[in-house]
């Protein structure tokens, strides 16, 4: 990185979105909040029988989950009833660590599966490229004249949805809430005007910036980036090593070129780099 380059981070905060409660009959139920709608409303995956609209699931004295709508199979729209839903989730929920880790939440996940600048609650997964950045590293970057700004994209469980179609163009990604502020847009415009690079830290930042362009934006994005996409804003990308057949890997291939990225992955496997959420990262210039 060079003096004047702009790092753009996702400041979304991971919530303990896995809940365990009981139906009025006493049956135990697991509720996994998957997609942020608002502080009170979410999409959720709920297992078990007898889950229907109007059902109330008691998690704790200060937290109840109401089923508002059955969407498909085990997916529902729900409302959290609590004086402060976010604080109640923090007390009673568990961090929904990625399924490929194949384990339950551990105490260290509350610390390490969260960025040092996480601020806006709403994600069910961490923007993992940012996990490499400590307070000390951010200070060193600042001392070297590297600028930074933040966007918000609340990561949903759909991030882990594998691509199952043969033609990648037919895949669809789930909509996710995004906010790109006037302050962020101003920083991006200033960097571009000075001939400096806009460096997206993570694929979520790429999707946010490419959705917004050069104007402030708040809303939902279902932008799906795959090889052939023309990037408008992002000049460089910091990202982790992703699962095969994932929209995240397609985005990285679109940015760096398929053959180049696959060679990098082969090198990573050969040299035993760590993959996925707690793994190593790469800078693509």
State which residues form the domain around 232: 6-14+116-284
Q: What is the mean pLDDT of residues 195-199?
A: 98
**In contact, 153 and 122? CB cutoff 8 Å:** no
**Residues across the chain:** 285
pTM: 0.90
Provide CB contacts within 8 A for 196, sequence distance 6+.
Answer: 2, 4, 5, 6, 147
The pLDDT of residue 168 is 84
Rounded-to-integer distance, Cα 205 and Cα 238, Å:
10
Q: Residue 259 falls within a domain, yes or no?
A: yes
Res. 162 pLDDT band, cuts 50 70 90: confident
pLDDT, tens digit, 9 for 90 and up, residues 87-139: 999 999 998 877 777 787 888 888 888 999 999 999 988 999 999 999 999 99
Residue keyed to tokens 């809430």: 177
Same domain, 84 and 120: no
The pLDDT of residue 84 is 95
Res. 42 pLDDT band, cuts 50 70 90: very high
The pLDDT of residue 111 is 83
Query: Alpha-carbon torsion 210, 113, 14, 148, what sign?
Result: negative
Q: What is the mean pLDDT of residues 238-258?
A: 91
Mean pLDDT, the chain, rounded, equals 92
The pLDDT of residue 243 is 79
Same domain, 137 and 89: no
Chain CA centroid to CA 67, Å: 25
**Nearest Cα residue to 243 out of 159, 168, 177, 181:** 159
Same domain, 71 and 138: no
Same domain, 52 and 139: no
Same domain, 88 and 159: no
Provide CB contacts within 8 A for 214, sequence distance 6+.
Answer: 185, 188, 189, 232, 233
Same domain, 231 and 202: yes
Same domain, 155 and 180: yes
The pLDDT of residue 49 is 84
Q: Residue 103 falls within a domain, yes or no?
A: no
Which CATH number belongs to the domain containing residue 194 in this structure?
A: 3.40.1780.10
The pLDDT of residue 97 is 78
Same domain, 244 and 136: yes
Q: Is pLDDT at 160 greater than 80 in this prediction?
A: no
Q: Is pLDDT at 33 greater than 90 in this prediction?
A: yes
Decide which of 93, 124, 159 is a domain's last residue: 93
Q: Residue 108 falls within a domain, yes or no?
A: no
Same domain, 151 and 209: yes
Which CATH number belongs to the domain containing residue 65 in this structure?
A: 2.40.10.240
Same domain, 73 and 170: no
The pLDDT of residue 191 is 98
The pLDDT of residue 73 is 84
Q: Residue 107 falls within a domain, yes or no?
A: no
The pLDDT of residue 155 is 93
Q: Residue 106 falls within a domain, yes or no?
A: no
Q: Residue 147 falls within a domain, yes or no?
A: yes
Our count of domains for the chain comes to 2
Same domain, 168 and 233: yes
Of the two residues 275 and 31, the one the predictor is more confident about is: 31
Same domain, 77 and 120: no
Q: Residue 187 falls within a domain, yes or no?
A: yes
Q: What is the mean pLDDT of residues 243-259?
A: 91
Q: Is pLDDT at 193 greater than 80 in this prediction?
A: yes
Res. 183 pLDDT band, cuts 50 70 90: very high
Q: Is pLDDT at 205 greater than 80 in this prediction?
A: yes
The pLDDT of residue 158 is 79
């Amino acid at each position: 990185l060079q003096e004047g380059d702009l790092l753009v981070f996702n400041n979304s905060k991971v919530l303990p979105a896995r809940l365990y409660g009981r139906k009025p009959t006493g049956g135990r139920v697991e509720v996994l909040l998957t997609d942020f709608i608002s502080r009170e409303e979410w999409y959720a995956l709920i297992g078990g029988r007898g889950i229907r609209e109007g059902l109330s699931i008691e998690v704790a004295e200060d937290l109840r989950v109401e089923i508002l709508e059955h969407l498909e199979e085990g997916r529902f729209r729900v409302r959290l009833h609590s004086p402060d839903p976010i604080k109640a989730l923090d007390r009673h929920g568990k961090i929904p660590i990625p399924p490929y880790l194949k384990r339950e939440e551990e105490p260290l996940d509350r610390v390490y599966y969260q960025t040092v600048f996480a601020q806006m609650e709403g994600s069910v997964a961490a923007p993992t490229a940012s996990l490499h950045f400590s307070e000390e590293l951010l200070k060193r970057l600042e001392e070297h004249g590297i600028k930074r700004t933040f966007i918000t994209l609340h990561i949903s469980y759909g991030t882990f949805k594998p691509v199952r179609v043969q033609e990648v163009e037919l895949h669809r990604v789930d909509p996710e809430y995004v906010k790109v502020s006037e302050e962020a847009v101003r920083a991006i415009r200033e960097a571009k005007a000075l001939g400096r690079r806009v460096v997206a830290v993570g694929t979520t930042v790429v999707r946010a910036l490419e959705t917004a362009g050069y104007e402030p934006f708040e809303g939902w994005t279902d932008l799906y980036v795959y090889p052939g996409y023309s990037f408008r804003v992002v000049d460089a990308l910091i990202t982790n090593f992703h699962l095969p057949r994932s929209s995240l890997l397609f985005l990285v291939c679109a940015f760096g070129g398929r053959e180049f990225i696959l060679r990098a992955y082969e090198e990573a496997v050969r040299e035993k780099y760590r993959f996925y959420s707690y793994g190593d990262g790469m800078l693509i210039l």
